[in-house]
Chain A
């Protein structure tokens, strides 16, 4: 079974440029998460989807970040415009079912560097 797929793995951009990350969850997983992980820190939830509905996006900086999960399968996270402080690893995870104690399966992440 394929795991959570993320692309690109690495991205380097200049500040004020737009950037997008893509995530394909494990087949059949209803819930999808986007996390931000700064160096030396734990993941911080940005947004959580149950199927195609965003059910928790309180930590998503909506002035520059946006996300979508069309048809409740893969998802895209966008930053426009990027700032220096956005440099981090962006993790995607998915889980089966809608319970918070279900195991989350994580992708390898996208490492973003903003110059």
Chain B
């Protein structure tokens, strides 16, 4: 079964610093991969997705992620953190089951941004 591992339940950065949130997946075939963000008391919002097109995927708010098949990774980065980026981030993979693809989410990484 496919699964997602997010390294680090909390990541703390200073405002203006590089953001790096790590995600590794287990899959025997290239999956569909997603990053979602969840602000307090809100639903999840899609940041970006990989669907076997370009390996470097650009999303909203200057976030991007690179699909690396050899490392089975899909890490999320942002060049310069803003205070408004503080939120919970979830990596997700679509797993194949029963003739369709089912989304499986990681445990999430809480991004803390210091002024």
Contact = CB atoms under 8 A, between A and B. Distances in A.
Contact of A101 (B4, B43, B45, B51): B51
Given A103-B49, A108-B41, A44 B105 contact: yes
Interface residues of A, number: 26
Given A41-B108, A42-B90, A42-B92, A100 B41 contact: no
Contacts, number: 63
Contact of A104 (B41, B46, B97): B46
Interface in B38-84: 41-46, 49, 51
B48 to A, nearest CB: 10
B108 A42 contact: yes
B17 interface: no
Interface in A73-115: 91, 93, 98-101, 103-109
Contact of B107 (A42, A58, A104): A42
Interface of A: 3-4, 33, 40-45, 48, 55-56, 58, 91, 93, 98-101, 103-109
Interface of B: 4, 9, 32, 36, 41-46, 49, 51, 90, 92, 94, 97-98, 100-108
30 contacts: A4-B43, A33-B103, A40-B107, A40-B108, A42-B4, A42-B90, A42-B92, A42-B108, A43-B44, A43-B90, A43-B105, A55-B98, A56-B97, A58-B97, A93-B43, A93-B44, A100-B100, A100-B102, A100-B103, A101-B49, A101-B51, A101-B101, A103-B49, A104-B44, A104-B46, A104-B103, A106-B44, A106-B45, A108-B41, A108-B43
